[in-house]
Structure 1
């Protein structure tokens, strides 16, 4: 076993999920994530956790969903009970075909998602963390050799997370004190309100309200969005390659959209429900260990020099406990990314905090 796989497992169990003795742990494992799953199981056992392992395959899921008549039972009790009794839910991605499931009809996909809504909510109430094991399918999707892709993944995952958390605290404090954020670049001039929101310093640990490994972003829940935004980073959404997405917002909602490829996928997302036309997240990438785009949102949205906006569900962690506001609700949360490395800037209350990908506290910043 690659010793970095052991390190990955240790970071996931100790830093990210903070597994303790007596914790009930559900470990969801992708088909080609066997090695990391073995290492994680060992770490959970060493720490006295109670482990249940499930098999998570898009191919298996597609077979079931496509064969079903579409009238799904709502929140099957056996599945709900497993999640409701979990303290920690760990997901290790590692599928064999990144395009599996593209032919599931949109209405069937929506029905299945709605039927599992309470299960999804219960999972969000655990100390959940998602990560991926470097697989050949993901390397192929990234256009990289398998060896190079493994190096890429571990450079992103095996970080000094405490040091990065301290750096990202600068952006969290900036957003916590802010009223308005503006993003400007070619085909993009968009403003959004963030007053009375709590930004999350997403340092790859549940202790920071962060649930992805790798992470390395600061995110909040915007509202009252106005203007236009162009997402120039290609990505695979629901198994389809989507690129050059342009959205126009008025009164907080998407009123017009286009895409250079697979525009129908964007339309399908927007038609999911009312909340899908509003933003659920503004995320600012800050992980300098991620040096290139790989067509995997888990990595690409964390890359320094990027901003991502998500249509749909907002996270409760961005809403103050004493607030009367409610987080934007939707059955979807779909991130899209724009590259901020050139001819761009981010303003917070009229002050530039990042220009051409460089933050004001970094060397080389030009105000």
Structure 2
């Protein structure tokens, strides 16, 4: 076994999930993540945790959703499993990244709504999602398998404490701020000029550990929960949603909600997501990528949204970690959380209360930052 797989497992168990003896742990294993699962279970055994493993597969989901009559009923067993768990580890590694492409979007949305209580129970645990490199993911990224493995471990096996210290500077600015403005200029494409309120919110220093209210490995972003969104935004980073390609998404916001939208490809998918529920038309997240170990787009949101020189916005559910204790009921509620990404490496800026904190992908504490 590649020693990097064992190091990945140790990072996941110790740094990310902070596993302790006696923890009840659910390990969800995707089709291609077997080797990582073996390494993770060995680490969990050494630490005296209790483990239940489940099998995850988009091909199984496709078979079930296409055969079902559409009158979905929530699973009490799934809900009970997550309600009793201390930790949930999601080990991604698909064999086919577009396995559900021929499942109707409204059916996928209905299934997501029914499973929302189980999803909420999972999110109440010390959950962490990560990914094991597979040939399908390498192909989706347009890379050889060997190069893709190097890319994944370059993003995952970081000095997370050092990155956490750097990202704390942006968290401090957002915590003290009232308003964020995102501006990008694009030739022959729509510009972005979006204003979002953040007053009273708590930004998360997402350093790949539950100790930082961070639940992805790799991570490397600072995110908050915006509201009262006004303006327009253009997302120029392609993505795969519900198994289908979506490219060049434009959204227009008024009084906090999407009032108009378009996409060069995948517009029907976007429409289905927006129609999921009322909360799907409002933002649940504003995230700023800061992991410079991720140096290219790979059509995998787990990596792409953490990349330095990017900003992502998510339609739908907001995370309770972005709210002060007692204010969680202010969080945008939805059965979806759909991240979309824009490149801010050129002709772009982020302002907090009128002060530019990032220009062309560089933060004001970095030597490359150029003030106006």
TM-score by length of 1: 0.98
**Is 1:168 paired with 2:157?**
no
Which of 275, 278, 281 is the matching residue for 1:277?
281
**Is 1:342 paired with 2:341?**
no
- Superposition map of 1:1-367 within 5 A: 1-74=1-74, 76-186=75-185, 187-323=191-327, 326-367=330-371
Task: After superposing the two structures, state which structure 1 stretch, 168-177 or 113-122, moved more.
Answer: 113-122
CA distance in 1, matches of 2:229, 2:78: 37
CA distance in 2, matches of 1:47, 1:291: 34
CA-based RMSD of the aligned residues comes to 0.9
SS in 1 for 2:258: strand
- Aligned-pair distance for 1:114? 1.7
CA distance in 1, matches of 2:201, 2:192: 23
Q: Which runs of 5+ in 1 are unaligned?
A: none
CA distance in 2, matches of 1:177, 1:107: 40
CA distance in 2, matches of 1:73, 1:345: 46
TM-score by length of 2: 0.97
Residues 325 and 87 of structure 1, relative CA distance in 2, 3 Å threshold: closer
Task: After superposing the two structures, state which structure 1 stretch, 239-248 or 193-202, moved more.
Answer: 239-248
The answer to whether the 8 A contact 2:58-2:94 is kept is yes
| Aligned pairs, number | 366
CA distance in 2, matches of 1:80, 1:352: 45
Moved over 2 A (4+): 322-325
The answer to whether the 8 A contact 2:109-2:272 is kept is no
CA distance in 1, matches of 2:105, 2:21: 42
CA distance in 2, matches of 1:357, 1:301: 14
CA distance in 2, matches of 1:172, 1:114: 32
SS in 1 for 2:216: coil
Report Cα offsets for 1:71-121 as digits up to 9, x if no partner: 1222x2222221111100000011110001111122321221122111111
